[in-house]
Chain A
Amino acid sequence: MTPATGHIVSDHQPRMGFFTDTSVCIGCKACEVACKEWNHVPDDGYAFLGQSYDNTGELSADTWRHVAFIEQPREGGDIRWLMSSDVCKHCTHAGCLDVCPTGSLFRTEFGTVVVQEDICNGCGYCVPACPYGVIDQRKDDGRVWKCTLCYDRIGEGLQPACAKACPTESIQYGPLEDLRERARGRVEDLVAAGVTEARLYGDDPADGVGGTGAFFLLLDEPEVYGLPPDPVVPTRDLAAMWRQAALAAGTFVALGVAAFAGRRGAR
C-alpha cells in the first residue's frame, strides 16, 4: 500500500540497496560491529546461545545486522557451513511504514525505510506488522529502532558501515537495479560451477512485498536462515479487511435496531 509500485524513487536518485551474497560470507561479524560502532547501537547483552557461532540470535532494536551460522551435516561425516548476514529488507511495500500511525516511519529519497526517532511515540504497531521480524522496540527507551541503511552516510556518498567493513564483499551496496543484475550473474556463475542450490531471495518485484531493497543470495531455503519463505505485506489485504469491517459495522447497527424494534412496546 506504499505509493507507487516500483517507482518509489525519482529520476535523478536511483533506489539504493544491499545485495548480500551469502556464498562468500565468512562469518567474521565485522558488519555487526561496524553497524554498532557507526550507529551507536547499544549493547544487546553478552549471551552464549549455543547456536554455532551465533551469540547474537536475531535482528532486534539493538542489532541491525545479524550473522546467522548454520551447520549442516553432510554425507561422509562432513558438515556444510552456511553463514549469512541478515538486515532490514527495506521493502518496496513496507508493512512497518504502512501501519505507522504517526508518520515516524518514512520513505527516503533513496527508497529506503527509516524511523524518525523524534516522532515515534512507541505505539509498537510496526513490530508485528513486519513480515520478517526486523523492527523492534527498545524497552528502556520505548521507541522502535532498525537499520537505516546508514541514511547519514549514503547521503554523503559513503557506503553503509556494514558494506564498508565487509572483507569479502558479501555485503554489496549500490543502485538496486545494478545489484539485481550483478546478483543474477552471480547465480548463473555459481550454478555453472556446480552450486545448483544458489538462489536469490527478495529480488522479485512480483513477490508479496514488491521486492526488497536489501536482497540475498542464499544456498538453502529461506527458512533455514530464519527468513520467511513467502512473506506478504499485511496491508495487501487491507481493503478487504475494511470491507469486512464495514459489513460487520452494518450488522452491528442492524442488530441494535432489531433489538429495539422487536415487539414494540414490549418491555
Chain B
Amino acid sequence: MKERAMVPRAEFSSYYGRPVLKKPVWAELDIAGYLFTGGIAAGSALLAAGADLSGRPSMRRSARLTSMAALGVSGAALVHDLGKPERFVNMLRVFKPTSPMSVGSWLLSAFAAPLGVAAASELPVGRRLVGRLARPAGLAAAAVAPGIATYTAVLICDTSVPSWHAAYPEMPFVFAGSALAGSAGLSLVLSPVAENAPAVRLAVLGAAMELAASHRIESRLGLLAEPYAEGKAGAKLRAGKALTLAGTLTAVALGRRSKVAAVAAGGMLAAASALTRFGIFEAGVASAEDPVYTVAPQRERVEKVSAAGS
C-alpha cells in the first residue's frame, strides 16, 4: 500500500458540511497585529539590553523606544479586541496557570513596568526622573522579553483550532525567530549604520530559526499543513518568507555600509514578520472553518486505535 501523507477527503462525513468548531472570534487586525507588535516589543527589549551593555547608545535609544511603542500598540489592540473592553482589568483578577492568556497578562504587566522606566530614560524629562535605574530596568524588561516573544505561540496552540494545535512543538520557535528578525529589522531602520553589526547578525539568526521551524510545520503536519499553503494565508506566508530572505541577504551584504540598504533590508524584515503572523492567524481560522481538518485526523486516530485493538 502507498504511504499516505494525507487523509483522503472523500472518507470524511459531516453535518451539511458545517464546521464542527467555532472559529476564533478575535479580530484579525487586533490579534494577528498583536502577535506582531508583541514580538517586536520583546525583540526590541532584548536588542536594547544588548546595545546598552555593548556601548551602542543610539541603538539602545531607538530599541527602547521601539519596544515601548510596540507595547503600547499591543495593549491598545488587546483591550480593543475584548467584548467588554471596560472589563480588561479582570485579566488580573486571578492568576491561572492553565490559561496562557492569564499567564500572558501577568507577563505583560511584568514587562511593561520596567520597560516603561527604561524607555522614559531615553526622553529628556524621564532621564532626570529615572537616573541610574535605566540600565537595571532595561535588563529586567529583557529578562521578561523571551516570555513575551514565545507565550503567544502557546496561546494560539492551546486551542482546538486544528492547524494551530498540531503545530505546537514548532510554533514558539517560529514566533521567537520572527520576533528577533523583525526587531532586528526595525533596528536597522532606526539606528546609525555604524552600530548595525549585531542587528545584522540577529536578523540572520532569527530568520534562520523562523524559516527552519516553519519548514518543519509544513513538512510534518500532512493534511493540517494545507491551510498554511492555501488561499490568502498561504500567499501571506510565502510573501513573508521571500521578504525574510531578501531582507536578510540585503542586510548581510550592505546593512553595515549603506543607510539606504539598511533601511530597505530592515523594512523588508519587519514587513515579513507582520506577514508571517497574519498568515499564521488566517491559516488557523481557515482550519477551524473547514470540518475536514477537525474530523479527518480524529477519524484516522479512531480507526488506528480500533485497528490496533482488534
Residues of A within 8 A of B (CB): 1-2, 49, 51, 54, 57-58, 60, 68, 70, 95, 98-104, 119-125, 127-138, 141-144, 221, 223-231, 234-235, 237-238, 240-242, 244-253, 255-260, 262-263, 266-267
Give Cα A250–Cα B172 distance, bound, in whole angstroms: 11
5 closest A-B pairs (Cβ-Cβ)?
A: A122-B83, A142-B83, A226-B15, A248-B172, A249-B146
Interface centre among B42, B158, B284, B302 (most CB of A within 10 A): B158
Contact of B168 among A127, A224, A241 (CB under 8 A): A241
Contacts of B157 in A (CB 8 A): 234, 241
Give the Cβ gap from B78 to chain A, nearest Cβ, in Å: 9
Stretch at the interface among B66-74, B95-103, B111-119, B225-233: B95-103
Contacts of A138 in B (CB 8 A): 83
Asked if B271 CB lies within 8 Å of chain A CBs, one says no
Q: Scan B196-228; emit 1 where CB is below 8 A from any A CB, else 0.
A: 111101100110010000000000000000000
Give Cα A137–Cα B82 distance, bound, in whole angstroms: 11
Contacts of A142 in B (CB 8 A): 82-84
Contacts of A249 in B (CB 8 A): 146-147, 149-150, 172, 176
Give Cα A142–Cα B168 distance, bound, in whole angstroms: 29
- CB nearest to B143 among chain A residues: A253
Q: Does B198 contact A259, Cβ atoms closer than 8 Å?
A: yes
Residues of B within 8 A of A (CB): 12-16, 18-26, 42, 46-47, 49-51, 53-54, 81-85, 87-88, 90-91, 93-94, 96, 98-102, 105, 145-147, 149-151, 153-155, 157-161, 165, 168-173, 175-176, 179-180, 184, 194-199, 201-202, 205-206, 209, 256, 284, 288, 291, 294-295, 298-299, 301-302
**Contacts A70-B15, A255-B206, A256-B50 known; A103 to B94 CB distance under 8 Å?**
yes
Q: Does A133 contact B22, Cβ atoms closer than 8 Å?
A: yes
**Contacts A127-B22, A226-B15, A244-B168 known; A252 to B101 CB distance under 8 Å?**
no
Known: A142-B83, A245-B150. 11 other contacts (CB 8 A): A102-B102, A124-B24, A127-B24, A142-B82, A223-B299, A228-B295, A248-B149, A249-B172, A256-B47, A256-B49, A260-B54
Q: Does B18 contact A57, Cβ atoms closer than 8 Å?
A: yes
- CB nearest to A104 among chain B residues: B90
Contact of A241 among B25, B94, B158 (CB under 8 A): B158
Contact of B299 among A226, A229, A267 (CB under 8 A): A229
- CB nearest to B79 among chain A residues: A121
Contacts of A257 in B (CB 8 A): 50
